[in-house]
Structure 1
Amino acid sequence: MSEVKQATDEVLLSGADYLRNILRAPVYEVAQVTPLQNMSRLSARIANQIQLKREDRQPVHSFKLRGAYNMMSQLTEPQKAAGVIAASAGNHAQGLALSSQQLGVKATIVMPRTTPDIKVDAVRSFGGHVVLHGSNFDEAKGYAEQLADQHGYTFIPPFDHPSVIAGQGTIGIELVQQNGHLDCVFVPVGGGGLAAGVAVLLKQLLPEIKVVGVEAEDSACLKAALDAGQPVTLDQVGMFADGVAVKRIGSETFRLCQQYLDDVVTVSSDEICSAVKDIFEDTRAIAEPSGALSLAGLKKYVELHQLKDQQLAAILSGANLNFHGLRYVSERCELGEKREGLLAVTIPERPGAFLDFCHLIGGRAVTEFNYRYNDDSLANVFVGVRLMQGQEELDGIIQDLRKGGYPVVDLSDDEMAKVHVRYMIGGRPSKPLKERLYSFEFPEYPGALIRFLKTLGSHWNISLFNYRNHGADYGRVLCGFELEDKDLLSFTSHLRELGYHWQDETENPAYKFFLAQ
């Protein structure tokens, strides 16, 4: 495998070295200077001037083009003649394919079989040769490295290389030119290439500008590395914001982020969905989840630190969204903005009980009401309530209900309730069961569900099953099994053999309210 040497194999580059390399990066041979757009609606709502760096306006709808082209432009003629290879689930692949087309270099991109067609087709449209292999990025990367060794390709990493970092850092130059009075810039973090490049550039030129990295809560590899003092590998990463679903921060990107970032904030999937909606309402652009990540972090940081009258910028890093994924975003954005609350409420089983309950809600809009007759005395209902004043209002509703004699549990942060239970109300078993409940995430590719059922369903009776396609490249399943205590050790062993992310949900309150016997 032909490689451009890593910074970790040489003398480490200084901030001044990176500044020089960023200023010399020839990215504008293929990339665009993207606008820094005002977000007037959001600015008025949170009392700060918010601007959005529109990297979705690049030819490949992502910033990744900058780093890929900068590294490829520095290859030797023999390396260009041999060709390049990369592993990517989307944005890096498209940046590499277009760079290869521009430079006349053969490019092979290994993509997981779970990659949405829109991203595979985009890579092919730029002339890239796509190889579909594996069910996740790590498997795709391993195969790409194997092919590189076999054919002498140069491996182009997605983030952890000085040339890639310098290419991404050109965004920092544009930010300074477009608004030299920024107080803080929020940058999404996956492998850390964008955050490292922007932070090292800004701190060389205008060190008074704060740079804050933003991570998804379920793939916060930078935060884990900062806590440990060195890069560590996460056991699992969530796939909703797939563009930042990285288990381990890069070595060089970590060094730079640790030195130059001022702070790091993590956000939930619901908060990301809310930011997608904010971007659409202000710009009519539709960001992919990882593209809206930094704006979600900006909003959370403003709330945590009570910022007022500041000039803040977030980077919209990409817009390669599978359209059907908007179904999930639209369902969850109100929860992320604390504009909807989900409650499990026990009401008496009698005529007029629902009307009395609505009176206690106080005229607020009920967004969802799920109920099925259970017995002659009490009923458990799943209720969604529209909120105007966030968590404080929801706390007041809960207090009023309890004063009115209605037992209530807040399910607004219960992932299983939001993904599965709200679609399954009334599914109690008609006979006694020794049941345990598990949630699973598995890749959306042909045969994944069959593998799941062959590994588990042929050994233990499945007593409950819920799956709903959210348009993502991974599936979420809720599954109940009839299990005796003596079977748990063997069952857990089969779960490990399966290799999918799983969680025991047997004690989940939503399950006990609506599905358990």
Structure 2
Amino acid sequence: MQDYVRRILTSSVYEVAEETPLERMELLSARLGADILLKREDLQPVFSFKIRGAHNRISRLTAEERARGVICASAGNHAQGVALSATRLGIRAVIVMPTTTPLIKIGAVRRLGGEVVLFGDGFDAARAHAVELADKHGLVMVHPFDDPDVIAGQGTIGLELLRQHPGEIGAIYVPVGGGGLAAGIASIVKFLNPAIRVIGVEPEEAASMKEAIAQGHPVALDQVGLFADGVAVRQVGDETFRLCRELLDDIVTVSADEICAAIKDIFDDHRAIAEPAGALALAGLRRQVEDRTAPAGALIAVNSGANVNFDRLRYVAERAEIGERAEALLAVEIPERRGSYRAFIRLLGNRAITEFNYRYAPGTTAKIFVGVKLSRGETEKQEIIDLLTTNGLGVTDMTDNEVAKLHVRHMVGGRVDGLDNETVYRFQFPERPGALLKFLEGLNDAWNITLFHYRNHGADYGRVLVGVEVPEATRGDFLTHVEAIGFPYWEETENPAYRMFLDRAVTP
């Protein structure tokens, strides 16, 4: 440990890196009843902590090594650090990146002067290819985590944390991929203040350090999930494993939904968007606070980066409320008769409905897919399930059902024979509590609802697609009734999307 302390104290990271702020998360602290702080490594010049270790390693190259050039394998953040450091020092940098790397990271590496080589569908394949190129062309390998100088560079974060928060620190939560960041921070923190707990956090689908410690040696996972691509490492390093096994107090694993919730927490508090790996540590912190296993004192999470593709945010927004237990997804069976929908919504009271999907099917029971916003998490969800069950409705909890969350919620529908008079309308109404119930109250029981789709997308207006059986003889009365509801509407019966996928008639 003393060797690493010396390396950390003599590192040269600040030639390119910055001392990032440690900021209190006021909203999350108030909500969870804890003193929560965030180390903003997303504010580095390359939007990630990786610049520290990369530059500390490259700055120590001999003149002969600099002339040969450097090479690394990386999913993106280490790559940017290597590219920036090498460019500043006038050194050639070849960067091997997995083909699955987000485009924002590939583009950033190229802008920083790195020569990008795309190879393999994960870090391990890219690393093997980088080793081949290094041997073939005499390039110096800059390992992303299993190198003493890289580990020491990352360890400067721990030194900053102790200086920035001289008061009591209960625990520091650190994201773990290959283990370099956790090993570096733990080395300095445990040397200077052994009472502070240093806790690693990994995704459930890429828990390579947790498995290595359980097995007593680094092991290669059969596969890893790529959602948190910055920590999607199948096998941790030998040196990082040695240090983490000795110095980490615990390792917490979290789900993708919990990571999404943590991304939302960071945005709510700081208006910053973290990449999934960047929010990983906060997700672990939240898990321990909610489980009441977090120690007393300030709790610090390292936000390790902000290099996220914009289109990834679609998934994050969809899953964040589930991850923080703020939304329940339920499959509910109600009587297939007029008025059942209003009766069901009334049972839910003033709770906000986030989703309501239904398609008519012959029989006496209608099956609906419904989302309900929660303010008291699992307790409130169970209260809702008990309420519906007590009133004779069948309920299946879909909140943790991956097939339901990823696919089935978008597939409720289909063609139904026998709906000769189905008419389809799209409505728009102000998005506020009770608006959906008011809309349903406005629909007259004289016409049977055959299709209903609503999803709260966070916009000012709610949008609903409704199918109604309207015999030709009553069409004039129906239109008069629709006008009286008072919401903007559009008829979509001839819309090709409806005709091709939902209408009884098959379009030639």
Q: For residue 359 of structure 1, report the CA deviation from its aligned partner.
A: 2.2
Q: Where does residue 452 of structure 1 map in the other structure?
A: none
Is 1:395 aligned to residue 382 of structure 2? yes
After TM superposition, the structure 1 = structure 2 runs for residues 100-139 of structure 1, keeping only pairs within 5 Å, are 100-139=86-125
1:86 aligns with 2:72: yes
Distance 1:133 1:306 in 2: 42
Superposition RMSD in Å: 1.4
Please report how far the alpha carbon of residue 192 of structure 1 lies from its aligned counterpart in structure 2 after TM superposition: 0.5
Deviations 1:99-153 (A, max 9, x none): 1012211000011223222111111111111112223222222221111111000
Q: Is the 8 A contact 2:73 2:97 kept in 1?
A: yes
2:101–2:229 contact (8 Å) kept in structure 1: no
1:48–1:307 contact (8 Å) kept in structure 2: no
Aligned counterpart for 1:299 among listed residues 283, 286, 297: 286
Q: Which residue number corresponds to residue 380 of structure 1? A: 367
Q: Which residue of 2 aligns with 1:166?
A: 152
Aligned equivalent of 2:306: 319
Which residue of 1 is the match for residue 63 of structure 2? 77
Shift, 1:84, TM fit: 0.6
Against the structure 1 CA distance between its residues 380 and 217, is the aligned structure 2 distance closer, same or farther, given a 3 Å change threshold? same
Tell me the equivalent position of 1:507: none
Q: For residue 131 of structure 2, what is the aligned residue in structure 1?
A: 145
Paired letter, 2:375: M
| Kept in 2: contact 1:49–1:309 (CA 8 A) | no
Higher alpha-carbon Rg: 2
- Cα separation, partners in 2 of 1:382 and 1:258, compared to 1, 3 Å: same
SS of aligned partner of 1:323:
coil
What secondary structure sits across from 2:359 in the alignment? coil
Partner of 1:333: 320
Counterpart-to-counterpart distance in 1, 2:288 and 2:86: 39
Q: In structure 1, what is the Cα distance between the partners aligned to 2:177 and 2:300?
A: 18
Aligned-pair CA distance for 1:249:
1.4
CA shift, 1:427, in A, is 4.3
How far did 1:371 drift?
Answer: 1.0
Q: CA contact under 8 A between 1:216 and 1:269: conserved in structure 2?
A: yes
Which letter does structure 2 place at the counterpart of 1:372? R
> CA–CA distance in 2 between the matches of 1:404 and 1:152?
74
Deviations 1:413-434 (A, max 9, x none): 111111111111124899xxxx
Query: Contact 1:387–1:394 (CA<8 Å) still a contact in 2?
Result: yes
In the TM superposition, 1:450-465 aligns within 5 A as: none
* Residues 277 and 402 of structure 1: CA distance in aligned 2, closer, same or farther (over 3 Å): same
Q: Which of 57, 63, 81 does residue 43 from structure 2 map onto?
A: 57
8 A Cα contact 2:124 2:233, kept in partner:
no
Letter in 1 for 2:104: I
The C-alpha deviation readout for 1:375-431, integer Å capped at 9, x for no partner, is 13112211100111000100111111111111111110111111111111124899x
**Residue of structure 2 aligned with 1:45, choices 1, 20, 31:** 31
Q: Residue 269 of structure 2 aligns to a residue in which SS?
A: helix
Q: Specify the alignment match of 1:263 in structure 2.
A: 250
1:255 and 1:122 mapped to 2: Cα distance? 33
CA distance in structure 1 between the partners assigned to 2:136 and 2:365 by the alignment = 68
- Structure 1 window deviating more from structure 2 (415-424 vs 139-148): it is 139-148
Deviations 1:259-315 (A, max 9, x none): 111111111111111111111111111100100010111111111125586211110
Q: 1:309 to 1:146 in 2, by over 3 A?
A: closer
Name the residue aligned to 2:465: none
State yes or no: 1:32 paired with 2:18: yes
Residue 439 of structure 1 corresponds to none
Deviation string 1:49-82 (CA, Å, 9 cap, x unpaired) is 1111010111000000111111111222211111
Percent same amino acid among aligned pairs? Answer: 58
Instruction: Determine whether 1:354 maps to 2:318.
Output: no
- Inter-partner Cα distance in structure 2 for 1:65 and 1:429: 58
Structure 1 Cα separation of the partners of residues 342 and 295 of structure 2 = 43
Taking a change above 3 Å as real, the CA distance of residues 230 and 427 of structure 1, as seen in their structure-2 partners, is farther
Asked if structure 2 preserves the Cα contact closer than 8 Å seen for 1:47 and 1:309, the reply is no
Output the CA distance in 1 between the equivalents of 2:230 and 2:8. Answer: 23
1:229-254 deviation digits (Å, cap 9, x = unpaired): 21111111111111011111111111
**Consecutive unaligned residues in structure 2, runs of 5 or more:** 418-508
| Count, aligned residues | 416
Q: State which of 184, 201, 205 in structure 2 corresponds to 1:197.
A: 184
Quick check: 1:66 aligned with 2:52?
yes
Distance 2:162 2:395 in 1: 51
Q: Which runs of 5+ in 1 are unaligned?
A: 1-14, 431-517
CA distance in 2, matches of 1:306, 1:141: 37
For residue 115 of structure 1, what is the amino acid of its counterpart? T
Cα separation, 2, equivalents of 1:162 and 1:85: 17
Match of 1:246, SS? Answer: coil
Cα pair 1:48 1:308 within 8 Å, conserved: no
- 2:263 pairs with one of 264, 270, 276: 276
Q: Secondary structure at the match of 1:207?
A: coil
Partners of 1:360 and 1:401 within 8 A in 2: yes
Q: Measure, in 2, the Cα distance between the counterparts of 1:279 and 1:39.
A: 8
Are the structure 2 counterparts of residues 69 and 429 from structure 1 closer, same or farther at C-alpha, using a change threshold of 3 Å? farther
Instruction: State the secondary structure of the residue aligned to 2:272.
Output: coil
TM-score, length of structure 2 as denominator length: 0.80
1:342 equivalent in alignment to 2:333: no
SS of alignment partner, residue 380 of structure 1 = strand
Residue 215 of structure 2 is aligned to residue 215 of structure 1 = no
Give SS of 2:195's match.
coil
> In 2 relative to 1, CA 247–308 (structure 1 residues): closer, same or farther, beyond 3 Å?
closer
